Amino acid sequence: MKESNVWSRRQLLARGLTGAAALSILNSGFALEDGKKKLTGFKIGACDWNLGKEGSPESLEVAKKIGLDGVQVSLCPENPALDLRNPKNQKAMLDASKATGVAIGSLALGCLNGTPYKSDPKTEKWVEDCIDVCQALGVKSVLLAFFGAGDLSGDKAGRDEVVRRLKKVAPKAEKAGVVLGIESYLPAKELLEMVNAVNSPGVGVYYDVWNPLTKGYDIYAEIRELGQHICEFHAKDDPKALLGQGKVDFKKVREAMDAIGYRGWLQLEAGTPLGLEESYKKDAEFLRTIFPAQVEKA
Confidence of residue 65 (pLDDT cuts 50, 70, 90): very high
Whether residue 46 has pLDDT greater than 60? yes
**Sequence-distant (≥ 6) Cβ neighbours of residue 157 within 8 angstroms:** none
| Domain contains 105 | yes
| Domain contains 55 | yes
Domain span at residue 69?
39-297
Residue 206: closest CA among 250, 148, 265, 143: 143
Sheet holding 32-33, edge to edge: 32-33, 37-40, 295-297
In this prediction, residue 295 carries a pLDDT of 62
> How confident is the model over 257-298, as pLDDT tens digits?
999 999 999 999 999 999 999 999 999 999 999 999 866 555
> How confident is the model over 134-149, as pLDDT tens digits?
999 999 999 999 999 9
Residue 73: closest CA among 91, 88, 51: 51
Q: Whole-angstrom Cα distance, residue 8 to residue 146?
A: 25
Domain count across the chain = 1
Give the CATH number, domain containing residue 229.
3.20.20.150
| Domain contains 216 | yes
Q: Whole-angstrom Cα distance, residue 264 to residue 224?
A: 16
| Domain contains 3 | no
Confidence of residue 40 (pLDDT cuts 50, 70, 90): confident
Q: Work out the percent of the chain whose per-residue pLDDT is above 90.
A: 85
pTM: 0.87
| Domain contains 242 | yes
